Structure 1
Protein backbone atom coordinates (compact mmCIF):
# COMPACT_ATOMS: atom_id res chain seq x y z
CA UNK A 1 0.00 0.00 0.00
CA UNK A 2 0.92 3.64 -0.37
CA UNK A 3 0.62 5.22 3.10
CA UNK A 4 1.02 8.69 4.53
CA UNK A 5 2.10 9.06 8.15
CA UNK A 6 1.57 12.30 10.06
CA UNK A 7 3.50 12.82 13.30
CA UNK A 8 6.17 10.59 11.80
CA UNK A 9 8.91 11.73 14.20
CA UNK A 10 6.89 10.84 17.31
CA UNK A 11 7.20 7.59 19.21
CA UNK A 12 4.25 5.89 17.52
CA UNK A 13 4.75 7.63 14.18
CA UNK A 14 8.32 6.43 13.76
CA UNK A 15 7.23 2.89 14.63
CA UNK A 16 4.49 3.08 11.99
CA UNK A 17 7.03 4.18 9.39
CA UNK A 18 9.56 1.51 10.41
CA UNK A 19 7.07 -1.35 10.46
CA UNK A 20 5.32 -0.24 7.27
CA UNK A 21 8.61 -0.19 5.39
CA UNK A 22 9.46 -3.60 6.80
CA UNK A 23 6.16 -4.93 5.47
CA UNK A 24 6.92 -3.61 1.98
CA UNK A 25 4.64 -0.56 1.98
CA UNK A 26 5.64 2.77 0.49
CA UNK A 27 5.49 5.58 3.04
CA UNK A 28 5.25 9.35 2.88
CA UNK A 29 6.46 10.64 6.25
CA UNK A 30 5.15 14.13 7.03
CA UNK A 31 7.48 15.92 9.44
CA UNK A 32 8.37 19.41 10.61
CA UNK A 33 12.06 18.58 11.06
CA UNK A 34 13.46 15.86 8.76
CA UNK A 35 16.55 15.57 10.96
CA UNK A 36 14.40 14.02 13.69
CA UNK A 37 13.24 11.15 11.48
CA UNK A 38 15.42 8.20 12.40
CA UNK A 39 13.91 5.86 9.80
CA UNK A 40 14.94 5.85 6.16
CA UNK A 41 15.20 3.70 3.07
CA UNK A 42 14.14 3.43 -0.54
CA UNK A 43 10.46 3.11 0.34
CA UNK A 44 10.11 6.35 2.29
CA UNK A 45 9.50 9.87 1.01
CA UNK A 46 10.03 12.68 3.51
CA UNK A 47 7.52 15.52 3.20
CA UNK A 48 8.32 18.62 5.22
CA UNK A 49 5.37 20.60 6.60
CA UNK A 50 4.24 22.33 9.78
CA UNK A 51 0.59 21.58 8.85
CA UNK A 52 -0.17 25.26 8.68
CA UNK A 53 -2.90 24.76 6.09
CA UNK A 54 -4.50 21.98 4.10
CA UNK A 55 -3.28 23.23 0.73
CA UNK A 56 0.33 22.72 1.81
CA UNK A 57 -0.16 19.01 2.50
CA UNK A 58 -2.53 17.94 -0.25
CA UNK A 59 0.37 16.51 -2.22
CA UNK A 60 1.32 14.37 0.79
CA UNK A 61 -2.04 12.55 0.78
CA UNK A 62 -2.98 12.58 -2.91
CA UNK A 63 -3.43 9.08 -4.31
CA UNK A 64 -2.59 7.33 -1.05
CA UNK A 65 -4.40 4.20 0.11
CA UNK A 66 -4.53 5.30 3.74
CA UNK A 67 -3.41 8.01 6.13
CA UNK A 68 -2.16 7.16 9.62
CA UNK A 69 -1.67 9.83 12.27
CA UNK A 70 0.31 9.86 15.48
CA UNK A 71 -0.32 13.57 16.00
CA UNK A 72 -0.90 14.61 19.58
CA UNK A 73 0.30 16.63 22.54
CA UNK A 74 3.74 15.73 23.89
CA UNK A 75 2.85 17.37 27.21
CA UNK A 76 -0.02 19.20 28.92
CA UNK A 77 1.23 22.55 27.61
CA UNK A 78 0.63 21.29 24.05
CA UNK A 79 -3.07 20.57 24.65
CA UNK A 80 -5.09 21.62 21.62
CA UNK A 81 -2.54 20.57 19.03
CA UNK A 82 -4.15 17.21 18.19
CA UNK A 83 -7.52 18.60 17.10
CA UNK A 84 -6.00 21.63 15.38
CA UNK A 85 -3.51 19.70 13.26
CA UNK A 86 -6.00 16.95 12.50
CA UNK A 87 -8.35 19.55 10.99
CA UNK A 88 -5.63 20.27 8.45
CA UNK A 89 -5.26 16.57 7.67
CA UNK A 90 -9.01 16.12 7.27
CA UNK A 91 -9.28 19.10 4.93
CA UNK A 92 -6.41 17.85 2.77
CA UNK A 93 -7.91 14.36 2.57
CA UNK A 94 -11.32 15.75 1.64
CA UNK A 95 -9.78 17.89 -1.10
CA UNK A 96 -7.99 14.86 -2.56
CA UNK A 97 -10.78 12.33 -2.07
CA UNK A 98 -8.71 10.10 0.23
CA UNK A 99 -10.94 8.19 2.64
CA UNK A 100 -9.07 5.81 4.97
CA UNK A 101 -7.78 7.42 8.16
CA UNK A 102 -6.40 5.92 11.37
CA UNK A 103 -5.52 8.06 14.39
CA UNK A 104 -4.26 7.71 17.95
CA UNK A 105 -6.40 8.91 20.86
CA UNK A 106 -6.28 7.55 24.44
CA UNK A 107 -8.04 4.87 26.47
CA UNK A 108 -9.67 7.24 29.02
CA UNK A 109 -11.34 9.17 26.19
CA UNK A 110 -13.47 6.16 25.29
CA UNK A 111 -15.89 4.06 27.33
CA UNK A 112 -14.75 2.33 30.49
CA UNK A 113 -13.98 -1.39 30.24
CA UNK A 114 -16.80 -3.75 31.11
CA UNK A 115 -16.52 -4.93 34.69
CA UNK A 116 -13.92 -2.29 35.56
CA UNK A 117 -12.70 -2.75 39.12
CA UNK A 118 -12.40 -0.08 41.79
CA UNK A 119 -8.59 0.22 41.46
CA UNK A 120 -8.68 0.71 37.70
CA UNK A 121 -11.64 3.08 37.97
CA UNK A 122 -9.77 5.22 40.50
CA UNK A 123 -6.63 5.21 38.36
CA UNK A 124 -8.63 6.23 35.30
CA UNK A 125 -10.21 9.09 37.22
CA UNK A 126 -6.85 10.33 38.50
CA UNK A 127 -5.19 10.24 35.09
CA UNK A 128 -8.20 11.94 33.50
CA UNK A 129 -8.00 14.75 36.05
CA UNK A 130 -4.25 15.23 35.61
CA UNK A 131 -4.49 15.26 31.82
CA UNK A 132 -7.85 17.01 31.60
CA UNK A 133 -6.83 19.45 28.85
CA UNK A 134 -5.06 16.79 26.79
CA UNK A 135 -8.10 14.53 26.89
CA UNK A 136 -10.43 17.41 26.07
CA UNK A 137 -8.29 17.98 22.98
CA UNK A 138 -8.58 14.31 22.01
CA UNK A 139 -12.34 14.32 22.53
CA UNK A 140 -12.55 17.27 20.17
CA UNK A 141 -10.38 15.39 17.70
CA UNK A 142 -12.63 12.34 17.87
CA UNK A 143 -15.76 14.46 17.43
CA UNK A 144 -14.41 16.18 14.33
CA UNK A 145 -13.19 12.94 12.81
CA UNK A 146 -16.59 11.32 13.44
CA UNK A 147 -18.28 14.18 11.54
CA UNK A 148 -15.91 13.84 8.59
CA UNK A 149 -16.45 11.93 5.36
CA UNK A 150 -13.45 9.72 6.08
CA UNK A 151 -13.50 6.00 6.79
CA UNK A 152 -11.91 6.58 10.18
CA UNK A 153 -10.62 4.42 12.99
CA UNK A 154 -9.59 5.88 16.34
CA UNK A 155 -7.15 3.73 18.31
CA UNK A 156 -7.26 4.23 22.10
CA UNK A 157 -4.25 2.91 24.03
CA UNK A 158 -3.57 3.14 27.79
CA UNK A 159 -0.21 4.22 29.22
CA UNK A 160 2.47 4.03 26.53
CA UNK A 161 5.84 2.37 26.94
CA UNK A 162 9.06 2.43 24.91
CA UNK A 163 9.47 -1.32 24.65
CA UNK A 164 10.03 -3.76 21.77
CA UNK A 165 7.26 -4.95 19.50
CA UNK A 166 5.48 -8.09 20.72
CA UNK A 167 2.61 -8.35 18.24
CA UNK A 168 0.52 -9.74 21.10
CA UNK A 169 -2.17 -7.49 22.59
CA UNK A 170 -5.93 -7.26 23.00
CA UNK A 171 -8.32 -5.09 21.00
CA UNK A 172 -11.97 -4.24 21.68
CA UNK A 173 -14.19 -2.56 19.09
CA UNK A 174 -16.15 0.24 20.71
CA UNK A 175 -14.68 -0.48 24.12
CA UNK A 176 -11.49 -1.19 26.01
CA UNK A 177 -9.74 -4.37 27.23
CA UNK A 178 -10.41 -5.05 30.93
CA UNK A 179 -7.36 -4.40 33.13
CA UNK A 180 -5.50 -3.02 30.12
CA UNK A 181 -2.96 -0.73 31.76
CA UNK A 182 0.01 -0.60 29.40
CA UNK A 183 1.11 -1.08 25.82
CA UNK A 184 4.30 -0.39 23.87
CA UNK A 185 4.26 2.31 21.23
CA UNK A 186 5.57 -0.32 18.81
CA UNK A 187 2.48 -2.48 19.40
CA UNK A 188 0.13 0.50 18.92
CA UNK A 189 1.79 1.06 15.54
CA UNK A 190 1.45 -2.64 14.76
CA UNK A 191 -2.25 -2.57 15.61
CA UNK A 192 -2.85 0.48 13.43
CA UNK A 193 -1.17 -1.12 10.43
CA UNK A 194 -3.19 -4.32 10.93
CA UNK A 195 -6.42 -2.31 11.06
CA UNK A 196 -5.66 -0.32 7.91
CA UNK A 197 -7.41 -2.79 5.61
CA UNK A 198 -9.82 -4.22 8.19
CA UNK A 199 -13.37 -3.09 7.33
CA UNK A 200 -14.64 -4.09 10.79
CA UNK A 201 -12.69 -1.19 12.32
CA UNK A 202 -14.10 1.52 10.03
CA UNK A 203 -15.95 4.25 11.97
CA UNK A 204 -14.97 2.60 15.25
CA UNK A 205 -13.04 3.51 18.35
CA UNK A 206 -10.79 0.57 19.19
CA UNK A 207 -9.28 0.02 22.63
CA UNK A 208 -5.89 -1.67 22.49
CA UNK A 209 -3.82 -2.90 25.45
CA UNK A 210 -1.90 -5.88 26.82
Structure 2
Protein backbone atom coordinates (compact mmCIF):
# COMPACT_ATOMS: atom_id res chain seq x y z
CA UNK A 1 0.00 0.00 0.00
CA UNK A 2 1.20 3.53 -0.79
CA UNK A 3 0.91 5.71 2.35
CA UNK A 4 1.59 9.45 2.53
CA UNK A 5 2.46 10.80 5.99
CA UNK A 6 2.09 14.52 6.69
CA UNK A 7 4.03 15.50 9.79
CA UNK A 8 6.52 12.73 9.15
CA UNK A 9 9.17 14.14 11.49
CA UNK A 10 6.94 14.61 14.53
CA UNK A 11 6.65 12.28 17.51
CA UNK A 12 3.77 10.27 16.00
CA UNK A 13 4.51 10.82 12.31
CA UNK A 14 8.05 9.46 12.53
CA UNK A 15 6.72 6.32 14.22
CA UNK A 16 4.07 5.91 11.52
CA UNK A 17 6.80 6.13 8.87
CA UNK A 18 8.99 3.56 10.66
CA UNK A 19 6.13 1.13 11.31
CA UNK A 20 4.72 1.46 7.79
CA UNK A 21 8.11 0.66 6.28
CA UNK A 22 8.51 -2.30 8.64
CA UNK A 23 5.10 -3.54 7.49
CA UNK A 24 6.24 -3.43 3.85
CA UNK A 25 4.38 -0.31 2.69
CA UNK A 26 5.59 2.30 0.21
CA UNK A 27 5.82 5.57 2.19
CA UNK A 28 5.94 9.21 1.19
CA UNK A 29 7.12 11.39 4.08
CA UNK A 30 6.01 15.03 3.74
CA UNK A 31 7.94 17.50 5.89
CA UNK A 32 9.26 21.04 5.92
CA UNK A 33 12.77 19.89 6.77
CA UNK A 34 13.83 16.74 4.92
CA UNK A 35 17.01 16.46 7.00
CA UNK A 36 14.85 15.59 10.03
CA UNK A 37 13.55 12.38 8.44
CA UNK A 38 15.81 9.79 10.05
CA UNK A 39 14.41 6.69 8.34
CA UNK A 40 16.07 5.51 5.16
CA UNK A 41 14.61 2.86 2.89
CA UNK A 42 14.17 2.09 -0.81
CA UNK A 43 10.37 2.26 -0.25
CA UNK A 44 10.61 5.74 1.29
CA UNK A 45 10.22 8.96 -0.68
CA UNK A 46 10.85 12.21 1.19
CA UNK A 47 9.04 15.33 -0.04
CA UNK A 48 9.74 18.85 1.21
CA UNK A 49 6.84 21.22 1.61
CA UNK A 50 4.61 23.28 3.84
CA UNK A 51 1.37 21.65 5.00
CA UNK A 52 -0.39 25.01 4.87
CA UNK A 53 0.20 25.14 1.10
CA UNK A 54 -2.46 23.09 -0.72
CA UNK A 55 -0.41 23.37 -3.91
CA UNK A 56 2.36 21.39 -2.23
CA UNK A 57 0.11 18.93 -0.39
CA UNK A 58 -2.33 17.90 -3.11
CA UNK A 59 0.19 16.39 -5.55
CA UNK A 60 1.72 14.42 -2.68
CA UNK A 61 -1.64 13.05 -1.54
CA UNK A 62 -2.81 12.15 -5.05
CA UNK A 63 -2.03 8.57 -5.87
CA UNK A 64 -1.76 7.57 -2.22
CA UNK A 65 -3.87 4.66 -1.04
CA UNK A 66 -3.98 6.26 2.41
CA UNK A 67 -2.98 9.60 3.95
CA UNK A 68 -2.02 9.95 7.61
CA UNK A 69 -1.94 13.46 9.07
CA UNK A 70 0.04 13.74 12.32
CA UNK A 71 0.50 17.58 12.63
CA UNK A 72 0.97 19.05 16.12
CA UNK A 73 0.74 22.67 14.98
CA UNK A 74 -2.42 21.93 13.00
CA UNK A 75 -4.27 20.76 16.11
CA UNK A 76 -5.50 24.29 16.75
CA UNK A 77 -7.46 24.13 13.50
CA UNK A 78 -8.66 20.54 13.87
CA UNK A 79 -12.37 21.38 13.84
CA UNK A 80 -12.16 22.92 10.38
CA UNK A 81 -9.91 20.13 9.15
CA UNK A 82 -12.31 17.46 10.35
CA UNK A 83 -15.25 19.19 8.68
CA UNK A 84 -13.39 19.32 5.35
CA UNK A 85 -12.51 15.62 5.62
CA UNK A 86 -16.02 14.60 6.64
CA UNK A 87 -17.60 16.51 3.75
CA UNK A 88 -15.18 15.10 1.16
CA UNK A 89 -15.83 12.12 -1.09
CA UNK A 90 -12.81 10.34 0.39
CA UNK A 91 -12.82 7.22 2.51
CA UNK A 92 -11.75 8.58 5.89
CA UNK A 93 -11.26 7.81 9.55
CA UNK A 94 -10.48 10.49 12.14
CA UNK A 95 -8.54 9.21 15.16
CA UNK A 96 -8.62 11.18 18.42
CA UNK A 97 -5.98 9.92 20.83
CA UNK A 98 -5.81 10.86 24.49
CA UNK A 99 -2.65 12.38 26.04
CA UNK A 100 0.57 10.97 24.59
CA UNK A 101 3.22 9.15 26.60
CA UNK A 102 6.61 7.87 25.50
CA UNK A 103 5.85 4.35 26.72
CA UNK A 104 2.65 2.43 26.39
CA UNK A 105 0.67 2.58 29.64
CA UNK A 106 -0.83 -0.80 28.75
CA UNK A 107 -3.65 -2.12 26.63
CA UNK A 108 -5.77 0.59 25.08
CA UNK A 109 -9.39 0.79 24.04
CA UNK A 110 -10.99 2.33 21.00
CA UNK A 111 -14.49 3.12 19.88
CA UNK A 112 -15.72 4.11 23.34
CA UNK A 113 -18.12 6.96 24.04
CA UNK A 114 -18.08 9.76 26.61
CA UNK A 115 -19.50 7.53 29.33
CA UNK A 116 -16.52 5.14 29.38
CA UNK A 117 -15.14 4.49 32.87
CA UNK A 118 -11.72 3.42 34.18
CA UNK A 119 -9.65 5.09 31.49
CA UNK A 120 -6.09 6.32 32.12
CA UNK A 121 -6.60 8.95 29.39
CA UNK A 122 -3.06 8.32 28.17
CA UNK A 123 -1.71 6.39 25.22
CA UNK A 124 1.76 5.55 23.97
CA UNK A 125 2.91 7.29 20.81
CA UNK A 126 3.85 3.94 19.27
CA UNK A 127 0.34 2.64 20.07
CA UNK A 128 -1.17 5.61 18.22
CA UNK A 129 1.10 5.02 15.22
CA UNK A 130 0.17 1.33 15.14
CA UNK A 131 -3.56 2.13 15.40
CA UNK A 132 -3.31 4.68 12.57
CA UNK A 133 -1.62 2.13 10.34
CA UNK A 134 -4.18 -0.53 11.23
CA UNK A 135 -6.96 1.82 10.11
CA UNK A 136 -5.35 2.10 6.67
CA UNK A 137 -6.40 -1.50 6.03
CA UNK A 138 -9.33 -1.98 8.45
CA UNK A 139 -12.71 -0.52 7.54
CA UNK A 140 -14.21 -0.78 11.03
CA UNK A 141 -14.14 2.97 11.59
CA UNK A 142 -14.41 4.07 7.96
CA UNK A 143 -16.38 7.31 7.77
CA UNK A 144 -16.28 7.67 11.55
CA UNK A 145 -14.36 9.43 14.31
CA UNK A 146 -12.79 7.15 16.91
CA UNK A 147 -11.15 7.87 20.27
CA UNK A 148 -8.25 5.77 21.55
CA UNK A 149 -6.92 5.64 25.11
CA UNK A 150 -5.58 3.33 27.79
Residue 32 of structure 1 corresponds to which residue in structure 2?
Answer: 32
Residue 11 of structure 1 corresponds to which residue in structure 2?
Answer: 11
SS in 2 for 1:64: coil
Matched, 1:170 2:109: yes
Distance 1:203 1:33, change over 3 A: same
Residue 103 of structure 1 corresponds to which residue in structure 2?
Answer: none
Contact 2:105 2:123 in 1 (8 A): no
Distance in 2 between residues matched to 1:139 and 1:191, nearest whole Å: 21
Unaligned runs of 5+ in 1: 74-80, 83-133
Distance in 1 between residues matched to 2:64 and 2:53, nearest whole Å: 19
Deviates more, 1:142-151 or 1:52-61: 52-61
SS in 1 for 2:12: helix
TM-score by length of 1: 0.64
Distance 1:138 1:53, change over 3 A: closer
Distance in 2 between residues matched to 1:43 and 1:29, nearest whole Å: 11
Deviation of 1:15 (Å)? 0.5
Matched, 1:60 2:79: no
Unaligned runs of 5+ in 2: none
Deviation of 1:169 (Å)? 2.0
Distance in 2 between residues matched to 1:57 and 1:24, nearest whole Å: 24
Alignment map for 1:79-90 (pairs within 5 Å): 81-82=74-75
Moved over 6 A (4+): none
Q: Identify, as 1 or 2, the structure richer in helix.
A: 1
SS in 2 for 1:202: coil
Q: Which structure: larger Rg?
A: 1
Deviation of 1:59 (Å)? 3.0
User: CA RMSD for the aligned pairs?
Assistant: 2.0
Distance 1:8 1:150, change over 3 A: same
